[in-house]
């Protein structure tokens, strides 16, 4: 499934430094083999597109992230850069 976050979906998609803050809920799971609850971040990718800069898509994480770690840190930082089109 692909969820597109439109430019106007948030009051300000990026600030003057090009930073966007997006709140996202992740499914969590645990199993007998891995009893610690984890957020299933490995199924998500980030696609960034901007006028005059092109488009980049990159996986959010290759492995799931422990739920308690995400709660403790309070955020997941993801850096991506775009190069201007000529």
Per-residue pLDDT 10s for the chain (86 aa) are 566 666 566 555 677 777 777 777 777 888 888 788 888 777 788 878 778 888 888 888 766 777 888 778 777 777 788 888 87
Give one word for 73, left, alpha or beta, with left for phi > 0 and alpha for psi -120 to 50. Answer: alpha
pLDDT value for 2: 62
Q: What is the dihedral of CA 17, 61, 25, 13, to 10 degrees?
A: 20
């Amino acid at each position: 499934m692909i969820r597109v976050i439109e430019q106007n979906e948030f009051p300000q998609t990026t600030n003057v430094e090009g930073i966007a803050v997006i709140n996202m809920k992740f499914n969590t799971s645990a199993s007998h083999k891995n009893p610690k609850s984890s957020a299933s971040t490995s199924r998500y990718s980030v696609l960034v597109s901007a006028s005059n800069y092109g488009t980049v898509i990159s996986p959010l994480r290759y492995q799931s992230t422990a739920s308690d770690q995400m709660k403790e840190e309070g955020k997941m930082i993801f850096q991506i850069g775009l190069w201007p089109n000529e």
